[in-house]
């Protein structure tokens, strides 16, 4: 006795009133029958049958009928949003549950976020029902997704008007909304003013800090949170990302140990958490740990593969990075994406593998149909230029479909300064950079003076330096940091602000003596340019920032513990050479992450094989 299935929208509201009143006697039985059919309903086709039956056999305005419609709407909101919409607009005066159901469904559907906002406005305009704590979070969710700041702010005003200002759930949504729209200050203010906070409130705020790159604030908040709540999966993932951003290995390792010891298998095998861990260990130069996490992952996505490939690439271990790439495409039959190719191209770049790099660049275009973007061209140009093929690199720059950016020009100039390219060519490249950056690019002057210095044109070096001070160009000061027992220590060149300055300088003296003992003489070729301070003050090579950090490491870390230093710029030739010697003299493993890559110094040599 199934009614004819109808794929057409349900009849318009007026047809509802043509219901057969003679069924009144059986109505109670009928309602409970319909209700139980709805409870057992599994597919839209069944739902449509029941819907037709409701139209035929019930009184339209009876409160039981409305209840049935709520159930229909709820089911359809998950299974067929268009149908839910049509049902909704046939109901004369939808109740707040119905409004909320549809707003929630739209807010959770990628293509319908904007409808969530317009439905919310409609709900306010109609004025029959009031928005409540089931309405606002979803309206705000849609606003956050669409960066609809003014709509969200209006919702915030309504929240206060309807007396929902102290609801935890709503406040969490507001924090997320403000952070998503770029108003971290407003999010923070809300968080601070919350009387009641759930673990979600803390997670949302910590995550907001991480998204804004304010890792330090994220970790500080985490410490506060721990006094009140045990961290959950969301907290741990944010914290691991913050640690990856800060290079705070020990806190990241703590979070990892916490997951292994205290969390259920679901979290241990969570793909997002594991991806964050791989990223953390790669960024901190602990490739063995990154590999361990990666290999133990029960499931991986392309982000997992990209992280491990980029990690080994940055470390100069091109062979391992390329092995992972081969496994990715051949064994696991994954489809690499644009980022994967940035990884393998930079792996080739850090090892000077020109042919392989060119082969991969072509493979990306013809084999995988990926259109190269500026970053891929950047890798290729850098690869060619650094390997001494400066003319070929220039060729690519001239024929690129897009305008080269300053990074590409700078890598050319950098190569010119190291590969003894003609001074004329270097000057030409410098001119192009200044054109594209409006003449205020400090790095160019620094590199140009390095070109002059390597050609022993000291007069020109002086001219460039004078020009820099005349036009007020300052360079980013070299800064190195080292983490000792969970505390980061930061140094600028010639820094004397550290509480252990006296002992640090004492270590430097010892290093000098030992270096002299083995007949080392400093390499001054980049002395002036690399690590001076923003006030223009110059410091001798021995006081370059990474040396202070390494000295503190030698002073404070137990023998055998690797010394990990993060530096914002590239190391100068002399520091690179001296770090190699320190690793030998003091039997120390020293890992330096500079602007572009890792150097692992051990037994007197560096993992980059002096190609950096
Ligand atoms: Zn240096
Ligand atoms: Zn190196």
Question: Could you list the mean pLDDT of each consecutive 10-residue stretch along the chain, which spans 612 residues?
Answer: 34 37 61 90 93 87 87 93 92 92 92 92 92 94 91 94 93 94 92 94 94 86 92 91 84 89 81 93 90 94 95 91 95 91 94 94 95 92 89 87 80 76 79 68 74 80 79 74 83 90 94 90 65 48 91 92 87 90 94 84 88 74
- Ligand 1 centroid – CA 125 distance (Å): 67
- Same structural domain, 565 and 597: yes
- Ligand 1 centroid – CA 572 distance (Å): 4
> What does the pLDDT read at residue 438?
61
- Same structural domain, 340 and 375: yes
Q: What is the number of H-type helices and E-type strands within the chain? A: 31, 6
Q: Report d(CA 570, CA 330) in Å as an integer.
A: 36
- Ligand 2 centroid – CA 572 distance (Å): 10
Q: Is residue 409 part of a domain?
A: no
Q: Report d(CA 317, CA 271) in Å as an integer.
A: 25
For residue 478, which ligand has an atom nearest its CA? 1
- Ligand 2 centroid – CA 592 distance (Å): 8
CB contact at 8 A, 579 and 550: yes
For residue 549, which ligand has an atom nearest its CA? 1
Q: Report d(CA 5, CA 26) in Å as an integer.
A: 24
- Ligand 1 centroid – CA 601 distance (Å): 15
- Same structural domain, 489 and 576: yes
- Same structural domain, 428 and 489: no
Report the candidate in 268, 210, 293, 270 with the shortest Cα–Cα distance to residue 244: 210
Q: Is residue 94 part of a domain?
A: no
- Ligand 2 centroid – CA 611 distance (Å): 7
Residues with CB under 5 A from ligand 2 (ion): 599, 606, 608
Q: Report d(CA 221, CA 597) in Å as an integer.
A: 30
- Same structural domain, 600 and 492: yes
- Same structural domain, 599 and 485: yes
For residue 608, which ligand has an atom nearest its CA? 2
Q: Is residue 527 part of a domain?
A: yes
For residue 590, which ligand has an atom nearest its CA? 2
- Ligand 1 centroid – CA 221 distance (Å): 36
Q: Residue 96 is encoded by which pair of tokens?
A: 């707040």
Residues 6+ apart with CB under 8 A from 574: 522, 523, 524, 526, 527, 541, 544
Residues with CB under 5 A from ligand 1 (ion): 531, 544, 572, 575
- Ligand 2 centroid – CA 182 distance (Å): 39
- Ligand 1 centroid – CA 268 distance (Å): 42
Q: Is residue 64 part of a domain?
A: no
For residue 594, which ligand has an atom nearest its CA? 2
> What does the pLDDT read at residue 10?
35
Which of 471, 493, 510 marks a domain boundary?
471
- Same structural domain, 589 and 528: yes
Kindly provide the b/e burial profile for residues 410-447, where b requires at least 16 CB atoms within 10 angstroms of the residue's own CB: bbbbbbbbbeebebebbbebbebbbeebeeebebbbbb
> What does the pLDDT read at residue 179?
92
Q: Is residue 356 part of a domain?
A: yes
- Same structural domain, 346 and 389: yes
CA distances from 179 to 211, 384, 475 (A): 9, 42, 32
- Same structural domain, 464 and 523: no
Q: Write out the residue range of the structural domain in which residue 440 sits.
A: 421-471
> What does the pLDDT read at residue 610?
81
The vertex-604 CA angle with 549 and 592, nearest 5°, equals 35
Q: Is residue 384 part of a domain?
A: yes
For residue 530, which ligand has an atom nearest its CA? 1
The vertex-455 CA angle with 454 and 459, nearest 5°, equals 100
- Sign for the CA dihedral angle at 233, 239, 244, 247 comes to negative
Domain count, the chain: 3
Mutual orientation of helices 249-262 and 271-283 as an angle, nearest 10°? Answer: 150
- Ligand 1 centroid – CA 546 distance (Å): 7
For residue 550, which ligand has an atom nearest its CA? 1
- Same structural domain, 466 and 485: no
> What does the pLDDT read at residue 3?
32
Q: Is residue 142 part of a domain?
A: no
The strand pairing partners of 483, in sequence order, are 488
- Ligand 1 centroid – CA 219 distance (Å): 31
- Ligand 1 centroid – CA 544 distance (Å): 5
- Ligand 2 centroid – CA 204 distance (Å): 40
CB contact at 8 A, 176 and 140: yes
- Ligand 1 centroid – CA 527 distance (Å): 7
Q: Is residue 391 part of a domain?
A: yes
DSSP string across 278-344:
HHHHHHTT-HHHHHHHHHH-SS--HHHHHHHHHHHHHTT-HHHHHHHHHIIIIIS-----HHHHHHH
> What does the pLDDT read at residue 500?
94
* Nearest-10 Cα torsion for 77, 83, 85, 91: -100
Q: Report d(CA 261, CA 326) in Å as an integer.
A: 34
- Ligand 1 centroid – CA 477 distance (Å): 12
| H or E element that contains 450 | helix 442-454
- Ligand 2 centroid – CA 606 distance (Å): 5
- Ligand 1 centroid – CA 462 distance (Å): 20
Q: Residue 332 is encoded by which pair of tokens?
A: 């696991």
Per-residue H/E/C for 356-400:
HHHHHHHHHHHHCCCCCCHHHHHHHHHHHHHCCCHHHHHHHHHHC
Q: Report d(CA 79, CA 105) in Å as an integer.
A: 10
> What does the pLDDT read at residue 2?
34
- Same structural domain, 598 and 486: yes
3-state secondary structure of 439: coil
Q: Report d(CA 475, CA 483) in Å as an integer.
A: 25
- Same structural domain, 596 and 491: yes
563-567 vs 590-593, strand pairing mode: parallel
For residue 593, which ligand has an atom nearest its CA? 2
């Amino acid at each position: 006795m199934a009614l004819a299935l109808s794929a057409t929208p349900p009849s318009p509201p007026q047809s509802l009133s043509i219901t057969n009143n003679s069924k009144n006697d059986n109505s109670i039985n009928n309602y409970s029958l319909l209700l139980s059919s709805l409870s057992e309903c599994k597919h839209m086709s069944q739902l449509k049958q029941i819907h037709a039956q409701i139209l035929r056999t019930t009184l339209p305005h009876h409160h039981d009928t409305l209840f049935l419609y709520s159930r229909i709407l709820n089911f359809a909101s998950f299974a067929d949003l268009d149908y839910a919409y049509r049902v909704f607009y046939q109901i004369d005066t939808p109740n707040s549950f119905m409004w909320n159901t549809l707003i929630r469904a739209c807010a959770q559907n990628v293509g319908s976020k904007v409808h969530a906002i317009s439905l919310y406005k409609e709900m306010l305009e109609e004025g029959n029902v009031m928005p409540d704590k089931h309405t606002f979070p979803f309206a705000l969710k849609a606003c956050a997704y669409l960066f609809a700041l003014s709509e969200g702010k209006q919702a915030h005003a309504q929240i206060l008007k309807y007396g929902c200002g102290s609801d935890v759930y709503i406040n969490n949504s507001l924090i997320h909304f403000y952070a998503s729209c770029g108003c971290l200050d407003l999010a923070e203010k809300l968080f601070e003013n919350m009387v009641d906070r759930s673990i979600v409130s803390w997670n949302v705020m910590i995550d907001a800090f991480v998204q804004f790159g304010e890792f330090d604030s994220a970790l500080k908040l985490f410490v506060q949170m721990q006094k009140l709540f045990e961290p959950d999966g969301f907290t741990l993932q944010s914290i691991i990302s913050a640690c990856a951003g800060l290079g705070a290995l020990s806190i990241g390792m703590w979070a990892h140990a916490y997951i292994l010891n205290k969390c259920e298998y679901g979290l241990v095998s969570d793909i997002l958490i594991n991806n964050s861990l791989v990223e953390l260990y790669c960024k901190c130069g602990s490739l063995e740990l990154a590999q361990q996490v990666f290999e133990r992952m029960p499931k991986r996505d392309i982000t997992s593969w990209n992280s491990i490939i980029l990690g080994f690439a940055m470390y100069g271990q091109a062979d391992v990075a390329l092995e992972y790439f081969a496994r990715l495409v051949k064994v696991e039959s994954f489809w690499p994406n644009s980022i994967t190719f940035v990884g393998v191209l930079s792996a080739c770049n850090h090892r000077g593998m020109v042919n392989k790099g060119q082969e991969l660049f072509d493979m990306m275009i013809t084999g995988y149909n990926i259109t190269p973007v500026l970053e891929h061209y950047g890798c290729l140009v850098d690869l060619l230029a650094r390997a001494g093929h400066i003319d070929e690199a220039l060729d690519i720059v001239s024929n690129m479909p897009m305008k080269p950016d300053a990074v590409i020009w700078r890598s050319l100039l950098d190569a010119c300064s190291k590969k003894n390219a003609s001074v004329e060519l270097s000057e030409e490249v410098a001119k192009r950079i200044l054109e594209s950056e409006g003449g205020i690019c400090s790095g160019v002057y620094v590199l140009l003076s390095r070109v002059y210095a390597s050609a022993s044109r000291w007069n020109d070096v002086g001219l460039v330096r004078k020009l820099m001070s005349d036009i007020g160009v300052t360079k980013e000061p070299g800064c190195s940091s080292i983490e000792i027992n969970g505390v980061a220590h930061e140094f600028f060149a010639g820094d004397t602000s550290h509480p252990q300055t006296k002992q640090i300088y004492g270590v430097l003296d010892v290093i000098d003596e030992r270096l002299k003992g083995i007949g080392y003489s400093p390499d001054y070729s980049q002395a002036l340019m690399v690590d001076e301070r923003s006030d223009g003050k110059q410091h001798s090579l021995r006081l370059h920032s990474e040396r202070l950090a390494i000295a503190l490491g030698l002073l404070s870390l137990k023998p055998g513990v690797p010394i990990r230093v993060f530096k914002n710029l590239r190391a100068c030739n002399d520091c690179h050479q001296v770090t190699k010697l320190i690793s030998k003299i003091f039997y120390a493993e020293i890992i330096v992450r500079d602007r572009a890559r890792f150097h692992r110094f051990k037994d007197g040599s560096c993992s980059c094989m002096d190609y950096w």
